[in-house]
Chain A
């Protein structure tokens, strides 16, 4: 199994630094961005990123907007929203925009790791399914 490639997007350098260290230690391949634009640029140039962990409150392009852009341009990338300022409304909004899950800061590292693994498995399964479905119909139908 290849390492799960994760992009962490948060404007707080100290948080990013500790999270990257801890998640890296647990076997994830980590990339970082400090804002929405930077995150999108990275995703546009690297289609092997599987999961994005996204803060909601960021200066410039905020997390919700970033989420919308990501799902529009890269529908198979799974996004986990992570925020210190959660509300019922933003939770609903995030899920409706296609987030994989919505977690609150401070969050248990084991729980986050579980969610990332789940999200990556979801993405891989999805890809696999599409691939198989096609191979199957074509081989079944070959004259």
Chain B
């Protein structure tokens, strides 16, 4: 875990000239900064690893490794770090390279106290803005779960109910419907919120390792077990363990889970000593466990112990009312992250998303918004910007019988939009000449 950041701003100054280090220290300390210094790049790399640093000030020319290498390294590894490049030989090229590599400010030696403090202030302001933007993302209170549909309102009520109890919970739903999000909400809303929430994906860990990962092992239990190790159940003692994809647990593992649920006790791998824990279990699955029970693939007794509180998460296609708010939320979040003005979706694009089947549910929608924010240059997303699978779903709008001329008009508009309003290309696709297209459009506006 990262060490806790103190509220004071810590500066790491790197220069092979000890005088410069002294000057930096003398100027910054009275202004309330904590200053750490070192004289070469390898030492700086080590310090960055070992302690939280807010701002890095580095010299350009140093023996063996130069400041540019350090800036590049730090920029790649510590996105939350402010960086100032200092140099005795200012040049346009040097300045350009420094900023290109990630420096926030560039300072020529000798600098005055005022110049140094001004540069520091600019960097710390920028840092504060960056952190603020990040902190604004999770919505406290509802843990970022969005939804205005009846179905999601019911889920919210179940979350509240589950948070008030300590019984086991089973969350079922397709992939990407937010099962882990719900599990976190239950944990952080409940009385156990100060204790750890540990998330384990049962399919991500090979069967042979799963038991020792979950329950821990003692030294020498198997080749490679060089020392005692606590398992996830123990790490989550007092808190919650989230077992994702529980439907994929082997029957062997199921037996062990049942034991821990019944008696709150387990054995570490390689040990015959009983361990006690108090860990709440929230399990999730995208499979139909009941059907698995009937087929003998999932233990019935385990199913009933898990299923004390049952939270079914509906797929996105069964709560289309939620699509628009999810779109808005992710759009503005990604725009802010990318530092670009917010973009909107054209009515038709939104309509296309509204009828799409969303096999990947909210995760798919989230990924699409991220991609659109990066790929679409203009202020609005058109149908043409959407992946092909979503583009022509508009035609199959359910429950609506249209006249032929209405269908023709809709089709013309869809094609027009997909070519960004280029009438020659639209006419070409429609197999008519430009004049006919113009007439049809005129008729449309006349009819409306």
User: Complex: how many Å from CA A44 to CA B176?
Assistant: 36
The answer to whether B99 touches A92 (Cβ under 8 A) is: yes
Q: Is A110 an interface residue (CB 8 A)?
A: no
A72-B340, A75-B338, A95-B99 known; A141 vs B360 contact (CB < 8 Å): yes
- The contact of B95 among A44, A88, A131, by CB within 8 Å, is A88
The answer to whether A74 touches B377 (Cβ under 8 A) is: yes
Q: Residues of A contacting B264 with CB < 8 Å?
A: none
Stretch from A12-20, A23-31, A96-104 forming part of the interface with B: A96-104
The answer to whether B368 touches A134 (Cβ under 8 A) is: yes
The answer to whether A138 touches B91 (Cβ under 8 A) is: no
- The total of chain B residues at the interface (CB under 8 A) is 30
Q: Is the interface of A mostly helix, strand, loop or mixed?
A: helix
Q: Is A108 an interface residue (CB 8 A)?
A: no
Q: Residues of B contacting A92 with CB < 8 Å?
A: 95-96, 99, 106
Q: Is B1 an interface residue (CB 8 A)?
A: no
Q: Residues of A contacting B375 with CB < 8 Å?
A: 76, 127, 130-131
User: Complex: how many Å from CA A130 to CA B385?
Assistant: 14
Q: Nearest-CB distance from B115 to chain A (Å)?
A: 13
A73-B378, A74-B377, A143-B174 known; A95 vs B340 contact (CB < 8 Å): no
Q: Is B367 an interface residue (CB 8 A)?
A: yes
Q: Residues of B contacting A2 with CB < 8 Å?
A: none
User: Complex: how many Å from CA A122 to CA B341?
Assistant: 23
Q: Is B374 an interface residue (CB 8 A)?
A: yes
Q: Residues of B contacting A101 with CB < 8 Å?
A: 96, 100
Q: Give B104's nearest chain A residue, CB to CB.
A: A96
Q: Residues of A contacting B187 with CB < 8 Å?
A: none
Q: On chain A, which size bracket covers the interface? A: 20 to 34
Q: Is A3 an interface residue (CB 8 A)?
A: no
The answer to whether A137 touches B367 (Cβ under 8 A) is: yes
User: Complex: how many Å from CA A141 to CA B362?
Assistant: 11
Q: Is B194 an interface residue (CB 8 A)?
A: no
The answer to whether B92 touches A102 (Cβ under 8 A) is: yes
The answer to whether B363 touches A137 (Cβ under 8 A) is: yes
Question: CB-defined interface of B301-345 with A at 8 Å, one 1/0 digit per residue?
Answer: 000000000000000000000000000000000000010110000
- The contact of A134 among B91, B99, B100, B371, by CB within 8 Å, is B371
Q: Is A142 an interface residue (CB 8 A)?
A: yes
Q: Residues of A contacting B176 with CB < 8 Å?
A: 141
Q: Give A143's nearest chain B residue, CB to CB.
A: B175
A-B contact pairs, 22 of them (CB 8 A): A73-B378, A73-B379, A75-B340, A75-B377, A76-B374, A88-B90, A88-B106, A91-B92, A91-B93, A91-B99, A92-B95, A94-B96, A95-B99, A101-B96, A101-B100, A102-B96, A130-B370, A130-B375, A134-B371, A137-B363, A141-B176, A143-B174
Apart from the given pairs A91-B92, A141-B175, 16 other A-B contacts in the complex at a CB distance below 8 Å: A72-B340, A87-B92, A88-B90, A92-B96, A101-B100, A126-B374, A130-B374, A130-B375, A131-B375, A133-B367, A138-B367, A141-B360, A141-B363, A142-B359, A142-B360, A143-B175
Instruction: Give chain B's interface residues, CB within 8 Å of chain A.
Output: 90-93, 95-96, 99-100, 106, 108, 174-176, 286, 338, 340-341, 359-360, 363-364, 367-368, 370-371, 374-375, 377-379
